[in-house]
Amino acid sequence: MIAQARILQVLHLGCAVATALTALISFLVRCNHEIGGETRKAQSRHHAILRRLFTGALICCYVAEAIILVTDGDGSSALAQARQFHLGFLTLFWLVLGFREKDLSYEIRNSATTTAVLEAPIFTLSFLQLHNEPSQICQLVVQACRLTILVSIVIFNCWTARAGKKLNADYSPLLTNGDGRTEETSYGTAPLRVNAEAGDDSDSDSDDDYLDTTKQFRAKQLQAAGGWWAYFKGFTPLLPFLIPRNDRKVQICLLLNVALLMVVRAMNILIPRQLGLVTDKLIGGQGPPYRELVIWLLLDVLNGSSGIGLVQSLLKIPIEQFSYRQITNAAFSHVMSLSMDFHSERDSAEVLKAVEQGEALTSLLETAVLDVSPTLIDLLVAFTLLYWKFNSNLTLVLMMSTVSYMSLEVLTSTWNLDNRREYTKAEREETRVMYQAVQGWQTVTYFNMFSFERNRIANAVEDKLRKERKWTRYNAFISALMSLTMPATLFLLAFMVIHEISQGRKSPGDFVFLVQYWRSLIYPIKALSFKYRWLMSDMVGAERLLELFQTKPSIADREGATELETIKGVVEFKHVNFAYDPRKPTLKDISFTARPGETVALVGETGAGKSSITKLLLRFYDVTDGRIEVDGHDVRDVTLTSLRSAFGVVPQDPLLFNASIAENLRYAKPEATDAELEDACRAAAIHAKILSFPAGYATKVGENGVKLSGGEVQRLAIARVFLRDPRILILDEATSAVDTNTECEIQNALAKLRAGRTTFVIAHRLSTIVNADRIIVLHEGSIVESGSHQELIQRPDGRYQGLWSKQVAGVKTGDLISLES
């Protein structure tokens, strides 16, 4: 019997709390649907009247049972108190929820379901305890009616929701496809690609576009997949970097930290209890409570930053570092794995800043495991303790204030999210402007644009500060608003305990306990709301990183791609068509074969498509149509690594790292010996020059090789290719920056290097390719002529012949164009 009464008591309390929580969660979910662009459906008058009728009937049932309870006379037992709480709370609850103008059918349906589920066992247990007393029979009848009404409310709201959905489907928005799905199927996937396909040539890499795109993504995502839950779920790709699945050390630190959290929880109760004991002993005149005071001191010190707090801080270090390491390494690898279309569209400074901003998420694991879950436990303990030590009214006050505090926090944080997003964007812009100016220092100097750049940076800094101020100011107001609720709650609780003491039901020690315990009680509530606010900010910061993670490389290894083993070097283009933009073809029906050891020169006016052919060879892009084969393997069927290691490239503008000459050379072959480096440099006609530098091979080349001349940079790039010793060479204007003598030396060296290797040469100066086995002349993306130098210059009115004549004429008129002797 006592057990049944206990269960009933728990059910009564649980029913009220669970209903309130369900309503709160449903409200938040709905709220965020609205932020995501979904509006609450207008409710018909007919439905609104019915809804109010149902609610009215339900409230009548609660009031009726409350009257029965009061007339019954047994108001002091724990069960009666729990019933009072249940009935009082739910009457208020349904009054607030059921008569609002706003359509709250979603919240009502969910809350009614929870209430019905918990009231059903209350009814069953009450029925089992039936003694044929009139009050009991009345109570059961009322409870049965209430259950019926609750079930009707659920059914009614389900039906109205379905009717609403049908209406929505009939008027599906333009954003959605016929089947109701939005056009973007996944959050953050290559928006540029979508735009390109849609024929939209807007410059999507601008930050304004980003902000709009992110907002649109968020809105569509929220609309398509179910509110903030979908938004949070969108971050799941980042979870593997935050969860230490295989890291034993981090797992152990996490476990120990959780265990210590439990100890702290126990301490949070023991310390105020100890102070309560001290007070009671003092008031009770049982002598000075020195022993109790010393125990309190020990407990307090043990619980503070010099005890458990210190161990916790030390244990947190590996946890924080784990996430940072994971996210940073993964973001770097991912960005580096993205294809050329991504890198040519995006600003590198902005991408780096996005990675940096995303690192804020590294505290997610710590926040979730070590902050949020323990504070939830703290709250549950607090509710139980207050109920056990005082009474249900105190618990109710605490619950209500927690719920209001958290609801307020969630809503106010949401208001500030866009400000945070603006601030994050301004931060990236500031980095971008600064990076551009520093990187382009030479250009800035040539044009004497220092004051222009200073203004630009000053504007970017000011803009960032303005947005930061707005966000921080809002945050301060939110905190102020939140802080108001807490003293009010303490006042109410203290008021109620004092009342209990004045009635002789509680001792002054209980008051001391409450005041002391308040510290430990307020902390989890405040921490929870604070963490929530920062978590939301961190997630906004990480949106761009998430977008990066979700951008898949457009060029990647196909499943089952094979390794390109040792190759002979046959390269074949078969009816290749290619376009960077579908509206403008770049290469049209390109077909040719380069046999091992052959040198194929690509010639044509600027923009004809020469470099594009080499980019396709290296698979920076995939052909739109046709195929490219290396030794009979389609380049799309072999791994990117093995394909690219078959090539050696001397680009138009070689990039050197700000390191020594030797280090730059070893980039091509890390294990190369000094002798190998020297051989390669001799072959590239740069060895003697390097030895003439004071530091020789240890000379630092400066950023992008600014401390070297153009010809030296180019010869170092050639030396790197010698070191790499590839089967296929791509020389893009490889000798454009050298004088005639050096050019001759390089040409001789290249002739040696070319032996037995397939070589593609792109040259504007035709003198450098007169010995090529085949010259392919391109015009507007098509091959217009092909043959040897001799064959081509003999074609009257041929395009090559025309180019050749112009260059020869250029030399005759004193132009700097050089011809091979």
Applying CB under 6 A, the residues found at the interface with ligand ATP are: 344, 580-581, 586, 604, 606-612
Using CA atoms, how far residue 299 sits from 247, 271, 292, 515, 524, in Å, is 34, 6, 11, 17, 20
CA-CA distance, 447 to 452, in Å (whole number)? Answer: 10
3-state secondary structure 336-358: HHCCHHHHHHCCHHHHHHHHHHH
Structure tokens at 160: 């109205």
Radius of gyration of the chain (CA): 38
- State in angstroms the smallest separation of the CB of 344 from ligand ATP: 5
Within 10 A of 202 (CB to CB), how many other CB atoms are there?
A: 12
In sequence order, what are the residues at sequence separation of 6 or more whose Cβ sits closer than 8 angstroms to the Cβ of residue 588? Answer: 577, 780, 781, 782
Structure tokens at 80: 């009666």
- State in angstroms the smallest separation of the CB of 762 from ligand ATP: 6
- The pair phi, psi for residue 647, each rounded to 5°, is -110, 150
Sign of CA dihedral 796, 800, 806, 812: negative
- State in angstroms the smallest separation of the CB of 342 from ligand ATP: 11
Task: Closer to ligand ATP by CB, 88 or 626: give it.
Answer: 626
- State in angstroms the smallest separation of the CB of 677 from ligand ATP: 30
Using CA atoms, how far residue 817 sits from 124, 709, 734, 808, in Å, is 101, 19, 15, 8
- State in angstroms the smallest separation of the CB of 192 from ligand ATP: 11
In sequence order, what are the residues at sequence separation of 6 or more whose Cβ sits closer than 8 angstroms to the Cβ of residue 472? Answer: none
- State in angstroms the smallest separation of the CB of 612 from ligand ATP: 3
Task: Closer to ligand ATP by CB, 603 or 690: give it.
Answer: 603
- Which of 362, 369, 276 has the alpha carbon at shortest distance from 320? 362
Task: Closer to ligand ATP by CB, 289 or 604: give it.
Answer: 604
- Which of 633, 648, 647, 630 has the alpha carbon at shortest distance from 561? 633
Please check whether residue 318 is in contact with residue 401, taking contact to mean a CB–CB distance below 8 angstroms.
Answer: no
Task: Closer to ligand ATP by CB, 53 or 655: give it.
Answer: 655
Please check whether residue 777 is in contact with residue 800, taking contact to mean a CB–CB distance below 8 angstroms.
Answer: yes
Task: Closer to ligand ATP by CB, 112 or 649: give it.
Answer: 649
- State in angstroms the smallest separation of the CB of 604 from ligand ATP: 6
Scored b (16 or more CB within 10 A) or e, 534-564 reads: bbbbbbbbbbbbbbbbbbbbebebeeebeeb
- The pair phi, psi for residue 730, each rounded to 5°, is -125, 115
In sequence order, what are the residues at sequence separation of 6 or more whose Cβ sits closer than 8 angstroms to the Cβ of residue 320? Answer: 362, 363, 366
- State in angstroms the smallest separation of the CB of 613 from ligand ATP: 7
Task: Closer to ligand ATP by CB, 229 or 580: give it.
Answer: 580
- State in angstroms the smallest separation of the CB of 782 from ligand ATP: 12
Helix (H) or strand (E) holding 574: strand 571-578
Q: What share of the chain is helix, strand, coil (3-state, %, to 5)?
A: 70, 10, 25
Task: Closer to ligand ATP by CB, 616 or 661: give it.
Answer: 616
- State in angstroms the smallest separation of the CB of 191 from ligand ATP: 17
Task: Closer to ligand ATP by CB, 81 or 612: give it.
Answer: 612
Using CA atoms, how far residue 638 sits from 338, 563, 634, in Å, is 18, 6, 7
Task: Closer to ligand ATP by CB, 30 or 610: give it.
Answer: 610
- State in angstroms the smallest separation of the CB of 153 from ligand ATP: 60
- Which of 117, 133, 323 has the alpha carbon at shortest distance from 239? 323
Amino acid in the structure at residue 792: L
- State in angstroms the smallest separation of the CB of 614 from ligand ATP: 8
Task: Closer to ligand ATP by CB, 487 or 710: give it.
Answer: 710
- State in angstroms the smallest separation of the CB of 602 from ligand ATP: 8
Task: Closer to ligand ATP by CB, 172 or 344: give it.
Answer: 344
| DSSP three-state, residue 713 | helix
- State in angstroms the smallest separation of the CB of 226 from ligand ATP: 38
CA-CA distance, 225 to 168, in Å (whole number)? Answer: 15
DSSP strands (E only) in 595-737? 599-604, 625-630, 633-634, 647-650, 728-732
- State in angstroms the smallest separation of the CB of 583 from ligand ATP: 11
CA-CA distance, 174 to 158, in Å (whole number)? Answer: 26
Task: Closer to ligand ATP by CB, 220 or 610: give it.
Answer: 610
Q: How far apart are the first and last CA of the chain?
A: 114
Task: Closer to ligand ATP by CB, 551 or 586: give it.
Answer: 586
Task: Closer to ligand ATP by CB, 58 or 576: give it.
Answer: 576
Task: Closer to ligand ATP by CB, 335 or 360: give it.
Answer: 335
Helix (H) or strand (E) holding 760: strand 758-762
- State in angstroms the smallest separation of the CB of 776 from ligand ATP: 12
Task: Closer to ligand ATP by CB, 254 or 608: give it.
Answer: 608
Please check whether residue 409 is in contact with residue 375, taking contact to mean a CB–CB distance below 8 angstroms.
Answer: no
Helix (H) or strand (E) holding 590: strand 587-594
Q: What angle do CA 711, 713, 718 make, to 5 degrees?
A: 95
Angle, to 10 degrees, between the axis of helix 2-35 and the axis of helix 207-225?
A: 140
Task: Closer to ligand ATP by CB, 535 or 613: give it.
Answer: 613
Q: For the chain, give the longest Cα–Cα distance.
A: 124
Long-range contacts formed by 693-700: CB under 8 A, 24+ apart = 693/661, 695/660, 696/661, 697/660, 697/661, 697/662, 697/665, 698/660, 698/661, 698/662, 699/660, 699/661, 700/658, 700/659, 700/660
Q: Is 1 exposed, middle or buried (0-12, 13-18, 19+ CB in 10 A)?
A: exposed
- State in angstroms the smallest separation of the CB of 240 from ligand ATP: 32
Task: Closer to ligand ATP by CB, 537 or 807: give it.
Answer: 807
